[in-house]
Structure 1
């Protein structure tokens, strides 16, 4: 069993409809295929809320102003994008805030499966990827970020994070470079 897992984070229709890079979904799918071919577990992380309940206090700029039905089970935008659709044996982790760990059972799932190395992908680089990387580093996980399997609406923010910030706590490589390490 691999001690590594690929986290595919926030690749949901309601988020992907704001991705401006037309090739992003195909690259994310290539990262998933690379993991599956190498026997690396794939974990899908999604944002999800209960219907009709407040998502957050109005002071929360990210979640406080969301409509009441967004990212609930009935919201089509909450569905994982078909390019990276989970297989029946792949866990789907539901989080309540930006970090994949916030309000989820991710840490329990990782410990249960002996996962010590996280390979991070997702939308947005400045959101879920940054928040998850920081928390995972504090929890002593070994980290890799796949630069071309992450997307941010601001290309300069993506560049600064992947070239200057993330390397302090993670290996930052491309999908192709990661595939070579798995061969």
Structure 2
């Protein structure tokens, strides 16, 4: 078996203040993310943080985009806003990229693919908030770009538990290995 550590990256997606705050009532929800990040670092797997944010004036938001139009009308979520900063419980190290995207997929409008190809990364380990947003969109696009993938089932959150369950149990296994954080960590040793 080839050494996946040299070719894998952990994508930590949308764990930013404005999104994590939706789950703030339960501080334990971030534990699987923290555990995955620490394991990746210990095993020399690059950790890449992804966030969604917009420029002042929202030039990236189309009037036809229902998901982001409300943000542009209500304000906030600009790249300098506190809501778009990575949550303090999982702060990136100085050598870990923080990539800004402009849509649901981590690839949309970002330099993610350039970084992955430059580092010869061909396997992505996905975790993030939300399962039906960034994780689903990134998985689909990464699959079309021929990346191998693992989804960390307990390091994905969604406000709709049934949608989360269907994606994790029925949709994602068609394109990715779906594992818990602990199971993934056991494959690293």
| TM tier, smaller | over 0.9
* TM-score relative to the length of structure 1: 0.95
Structure 1 gaps, min length 5 = none
Supply the distance in 1 between the matched residues of 2:133 and 2:179 (Cα, whole angstroms): 19
Structure 2 gaps, min length 5 = none
Q: Is residue 185 of structure 2 the alignment partner of residue 169 of structure 1?
A: no
RMSD: 1.3
Contact 2:61–2:72 (CA<8 Å) still a contact in 1?
A: no
2:68 to 34, 47, 63: 63
Residue 35 of structure 1: how far off its partner (Å): 0.6
Residue 21 of structure 1: how far off its partner (Å): 4.5
Greater helix percent: which structure?
2
The size of the alignment, in residue pairs, is 183
Supply the distance in 2 between the matched residues of 1:139 and 1:167 (Cα, whole angstroms): 17
Tell me the SS of whatever aligns to 2:27.
Answer: coil
User: Which residue matches 1:116?
Assistant: 122
2:162 to 144, 147, 156: 156
Tell me the SS of whatever aligns to 1:66.
Answer: helix
Q: How is 1:10-159 mapped onto 2 (pairs within 5 angstroms)?
A: 10-19=14-23, 21-67=26-72, 69-159=75-165
User: Which deviates more, 56-65 or 124-133?
Assistant: 56-65
Supply the distance in 1 between the matched residues of 2:170 and 2:122 (Cα, whole angstroms): 24
Supply the distance in 2 between the matched residues of 1:26 and 1:177 (Cα, whole angstroms): 15
Tell me the SS of whatever aligns to 1:5.
Answer: strand
Residue 70 of structure 1: how far off its partner (Å): 1.9
Residue 106 of structure 1: how far off its partner (Å): 0.5
Supply the distance in 2 between the matched residues of 1:162 and 1:67 (Cα, whole angstroms): 31
Q: Which runs of 4+ in 1 moved over 4 A?
A: none
Residue 90 of structure 1: how far off its partner (Å): 0.3
